[in-house]
Amino acid sequence: MPEFRKPNKNGPDKAVGGAGRNTGAYMCVDQDLCVGCAACQAECPSGAVSMIEDRASINPGRCTACGACRDVCPMAAIHAV
């Protein structure tokens, strides 16, 4: 029988366990590599990515370090810190 797990009612802005606010981990954009395609912004489930002067910027306070932005970046400009 599979293990029952309660759903996370906190939402992506209130991450519980894993990465994000609880561990201090978040994703970071290498501004020299970013080409401003905004693929990361569209993919981010927590709304942590914004475009500033045609480059992606990640708000560490909202980032849960899920890696969705990193996975879609065509320039490999995003990494965890």
Q: Judge whether 12 lies within some domain.
A: no
Residue 18 DSSP symbol:
S
Q: What is the pLDDT of residue 24?
A: 77
Number of domains composing the chain: 1
CB 79 within 8 A of CB 70: yes
- pTM over 0.85, yes/no: no
CB 12 within 8 A of CB 46: yes
Looking at residues 12-29, what average pLDDT do you find?
A: 58
**CATH number, domain at 32?**
3.30.70.20
Q: What sign for the dihedral angle of Cα 57, 20, 69, 62?
A: negative
pLDDT digits (tens, 9 = 90+) for 45-76: 999 999 999 999 999 999 999 999 999 999 99
The H or E element that residue 39 is part of is helix 39-43
**Domain residues for 48?**
21-80
pLDDT digits (tens, 9 = 90+) for 30-40: 999 999 999 99
CB 38 within 8 A of CB 55: no
Structure tokens at 2: 């599979």
